[in-house]
Chains A and B, each alone.
Chain A
Amino acid sequence: MQSVANHRYRKCKNAGMNTLAIACAVLVISPLGFILFYLIRQGASSVNWAFFTNLPAPVGQIGGGMGNAIVGTLELLLLASLVGVPIGVLGGIYLSEYGGERINDWIRFWADVLNGIPSIVWGIVAYGLVVKPMKGFSAYAGGLALGFMMVPLILRTTEEVLVLVPRSYREAALALGLPQWKTVVRIVLPTALKGIVTGMLLAMARVAGETAPLLFTAFGNNFWNRKLAEPVAALPLQIFNYAISPYDDWHRQAWAGALVLMAIILTINIVVRIISRGYNKSN
């Protein structure tokens, strides 16, 4: 009889803990649901064709859009990738294929420190390196600031996926008399390509929503950016500027901008999911 009671007690405890775990999971996921729901409710009505193609309208005039900011964000991501992808990928290759244990520990440590640097500091760095010498805000400066932020992210993900490539492939290639660089470029990199692309996209998604590093680098612009050496609009900046303005019309636009930015980042993440599902299958 003792054992039956004990059994019942254990069943109760199990049910209780299960409920608790489910509640925590719901708690974690629900903010995303609420944010998306709220953004759609507030912003969806202002998202229309003009929003994607038009320039911001002056106060009081209706029908303005954020076309320049959307294009500007894409420009900045491209520039940032030009900085972050080569440095990050080559650094990851060094860590995984060439570096010695001690130097690797140092590089990993500094990459983690860089990863923890507040994003506004990257803005100051880019301000000092680009804005001051060029005597003006520019897309270059914004791209550089975001690019710096991508470097440690891409470095670490690239290293991780390269380390996952079995040693036996490297040995097989070297045993055919191939030099190490050909082994890396033609055998190891293609095997890990999907993982590297995944890391690149995740880093892009991560920096796409950054506002602080752009405040005094890209600066923002109410018109189309015609030269990369000129200030450029970006979605997070535009959202920030509109949100702190006193006009209801601009507030609505800010909601719409936030919704579009969220949609862009969500899309990148979904693409990553699709790629990495294929990656897991092929391995």
Chain B
Amino acid sequence: MADVVPAKISVPQSAAVGGAPSGALPVEQESIAFDVKNFSLWYGARQALHDITIRIPARKVTAIIGPSGCGKSTFIRALNRMHELTPGTRIGGEVRLFGENLYGLNVEPTTVRRRVGMVFQKSNPFPTMSIAENVLVGLRLNGVRDKALLSQRLEESLHMAALWDEVKDTLGRPGISLSGGQQQRLCIARALAVKPEIILMDEPCSALDPIATAKVEELIHSLQVNYTVVIVTHNMQQAARCSDKTAFFYMGKLIEYDETRTIFMNPANPQTEAYVSGRFG
């Protein structure tokens, strides 16, 4: 387990081909991170997601907007199989990550989550750990012992999360001693340290003040150079400010998905138009 960046999930090619058109260009395949087809999700008898089909591009920021309870959080939790923690969930349809079936029989949720990291609504640094330990916990508990590598990743991750300058002299202090905005950036650094390919963010700024929000948004913008970011937000200005593409969810359905500019300036669907112009939701 020395190498934490996991090898691509090895699904037998025969199983992985599925319904993908054989004539698709490899270049185009590379640029799609998540290819979701006819995806539905049930909590017990209640259907939370209806027949979602969406292609989320790699190395871009995709925002998911919609009113409370529309299934946007459920959807991104299904992208790294976190929804499986809720007992009684069931899915239909398929999700492919760079062409590989996320829900294949031989695919372990832990492998998926190492490739698809997540940042949560409420910052949650581990209370028993220092700032440095929080950043490195994913690497250490996956068996990385190399001190040079650890200290390099520590600095790198905190730099990427725009937190290094604020904490470089206090790395040994408890993670929970930081302010709310710093804690959230610490959680982002923790997610980045294991070098996932994708970062999912579930309303990462909803508990932050405007200044901290601005910092995190700036950070999200800088992440897209190396990462694919999917961000759930109920703040439409935020979606407009920092995303390339936007998907509008309503009542468990994907209503509209397009370039962010199009969604906000010239939406095709009247429901989308009503929502982005603030007439409901």
Contacts and interface: CB of A to CB of B under 8 A. Distances in A.
A173 B126 CA distance: 9
A15 to B, nearest CB: 45
A177 interface: yes
Interface string B175-207: 000000000000100110010000000000000
Contact of B113 (A176, A182, A191, A283): A176
A179 interface: yes
B67 to A, nearest CB: 23
Interface string B190-228: 110010000000000000000000000000000000000
B3 to A, nearest CB: 13
B277 interface: no
B230 to A, nearest CB: 13
Interface string B102-136: 00000001111111011010101011100000000
Interface string A76-111: 000000000000000000000000110000000000
Interface stretch (B32-40, B41-49, B137-145): B137-145
A159 B37 CA distance: 41
B85 A166 contact: no
A186 B134 CA distance: 12
Interface in A162-181: 166, 168-179
B124 A168 contact: yes
A187 interface: yes
A190 interface: yes
A282 interface: yes
B78 interface: no
A140 to B, nearest CB: 36
A175 B122 contact: no
Contact of A176 (B6, B87, B194): B194
A168 B122 contact: yes
Contact of B142 (A177, A190, A283): A177
Given A169-B126, A182-B141, A174 B114 contact: no
A185 B108 CA distance: 20
Interface string B36-67: 00000000000000000000000000000000
A103 B99 CA distance: 40
B167 interface: no
Given A168-B120, A182-B141, A175 B80 contact: yes
A174 B82 contact: yes
B124 A172 contact: yes
A177 B120 contact: no
B126 A176 contact: no
Interface in B144-169: none
Given A191-B126, A191-B127, A175 B118 contact: yes
B120 A172 contact: yes
B187 A171 contact: no
A231 to B, nearest CB: 44
A171 B126 contact: no
Interface string A175-217: 1111100100011001101000000000000000000000000
Nearest to A174: B113
B137 A176 contact: yes
Contact of A187 (B110, B118, B126): B126
A222 B154 CA distance: 62
A175 B187 CA distance: 11
A168 to B, nearest CB: 4
Contact of B194 (A100, A177, A190): A177
A171 B117 CA distance: 11
Given A171-B85, A172-B190, A177 B124 contact: no
Nearest to B138: A176
> Which of A173, A174, A177, A191 has the most CB atoms of chain B within a 10 A radius of its CB?
A177
Interface in B76-111: 80, 82, 85, 87, 109-111
A172 B80 CA distance: 12
A174 B124 contact: no
Given A171-B82, A171-B120, A179-B110, A191 B138 contact: no
A175 B201 CA distance: 11
B35 to A, nearest CB: 22
Nearest to A167: B85
A177 B113 contact: yes
29 contacts: A101-B87, A166-B124, A168-B122, A169-B126, A170-B85, A171-B85, A171-B124, A172-B124, A173-B141, A174-B82, A174-B109, A174-B113, A175-B80, A175-B82, A175-B117, A175-B118, A176-B113, A176-B117, A176-B138, A176-B141, A177-B110, A177-B115, A177-B138, A178-B142, A182-B141, A186-B141, A187-B126, A187-B137, A191-B128
Given A166-B124, A176-B114, A178-B142, 11 more contacts: A170-B85, A173-B126, A174-B110, A176-B113, A176-B191, A177-B114, A177-B115, A182-B141, A190-B128, A193-B128, A283-B127
Interface of A: 100-101, 166, 168-179, 182, 186-187, 190-191, 193, 282-283
In the A-B complex, the 9 residue pairs with the smallest Cβ-Cβ separation, listed nearest first, are: A177-B114, A176-B138, A175-B118, A168-B124, A177-B113, A190-B128, A172-B124, A177-B110, A179-B110
